[in-house]
Structure 1
Amino acid sequence: MVFWFPLLAWLAAIIVAIVMLMRGPRPITFRKVVGQLLRYILLFPVGIMGLWGFMGHVFFADQAAASIGWAPSPFQFEVGMANLGIGLAGIIGAFVPSPGFRAAVGVVMLGFLGGAGIGHLIQISQTGDMAAGNAGPILYTDFITPLSVLGLLLLQRLFRRPPVPEPTAAV
């Protein structure tokens, strides 16, 4: 499941974004595509994946450690709690379209998941740990997910609606 879950979360985000775009008002604009992708990446690869990581590290610690190629550790509880926070923030960010909140979620994800991804790369190079939870799709999504959130937020900012000019008073 460690191999497939990140892929399924991303697939769900893309499919649901497409369905919502097809069911929504026309025309489908670049801004709408970015907005829907951002919403469903926050919901599935961030939110649901975060909750999945929380449950794995807290309630199934032995299996989670084995899938990464590690021995079980008390630190898994802390990793699980970090995943819980990120997961809940992702779900909130999916439904509360605050750019500041979403950016904060992206920055926290980049720090935590990006750091985890670097840790996976170090483990691969130093120990040859090619376990599915260390060298599988989770390795790639540790980088792709936060960078996607931050990149889509940047695109939203670059392509936001221009301000409506205020009417000038006649003299």
Structure 2
Amino acid sequence: MVFWFPLVMVALALLCAFVAVQRAPRPLPPGFAADRLIRYIMLFPMGIQGLWGALGHLGFPAETAASIGWAPSPFQFEVGVCNLGIGVVGLIAAFYARWNFRLALAIYALFFLGGAAWGHVIQMMTAGNFAPGNAGPIFFTDILTPLSLLILLAWTRRTAQP
């Protein structure tokens, strides 16, 4: 599940955004498609995947550590709580937040997930750790999720309400 879950979350975000755009009345307002993609990235890869990460690190730390190629550590509690925070805020940002709130979450995700990705790189280079939870899809979503959000938010800056 560690391998597939991030891919499923990205696929659900793309699918839901596509459906929302297809069902919307025409003509589409400027930035509508990008806004829907932002919404569903906030919901799935940020919100639900954040809660999934929290559940893993807080509820099943030994199994989660093994999937990453680590030994269990007390620091997993801290990572789990960070994941819980990003998950809850991602859910709020998906449906109740405005552009500035989403931007703040995207910047936080850039540092949290980007830092995690850097940690994955270090583990791959120094320890040869290519476990699915370290070098699998989670590595790529740790990079692509915040970058895609920041690009989409920059694209919608003029049409969004702060």
- 1:20 deviates by 1.1
State which structure, 1 or 2, has the greater radius of gyration over its C-alpha atoms. Answer: 1
Distance (whole Å) between structure 1 residues aligned to residue 153 and residue 89 of structure 2: 16
Distance (whole Å) between structure 1 residues aligned to residue 30 and residue 143 of structure 2: 24
Instruction: Write out per-residue CA displacement over residues 108-161 of structure 1, whole angstroms, 9 at most, x where no aligned residue.
Output: 111111000000000000011000000000000001001111111100014x28
Structure 1 residue ranges (4+ consecutive) displaced by more than 4 angstroms after TM superposition: none
Distance (whole Å) between structure 1 residues aligned to residue 154 and residue 37 of structure 2: 13
- 1:97 deviates by 3.6
Instruction: Write out per-residue CA displacement over residues 16-67 of structure 1, whole angstroms, 9 at most, x where no aligned residue.
Output: 1111111111124561110110000000000000000000000010110000
What TM-score does the superposition give when structure 2 sets the normalisation length?
Answer: 0.95
What TM-score does the superposition give when structure 1 sets the normalisation length?
Answer: 0.90
Which residue identity does 2:15 align to in structure 1? Answer: I
Structure 2: unaligned runs, 5 residues or longer: none
Distance (whole Å) between structure 2 residues aligned to residue 18 and residue 110 of structure 1: 25
DSSP-derived class of the 1:46 partner: helix
- 1:3 deviates by 0.5
Aligned counterpart, 2:32: 32
* Paired positions, count: 160
The reply on whether 1:129 has 2:129 as its aligned counterpart is yes
Structure 1: unaligned runs, 5 residues or longer: 162-171
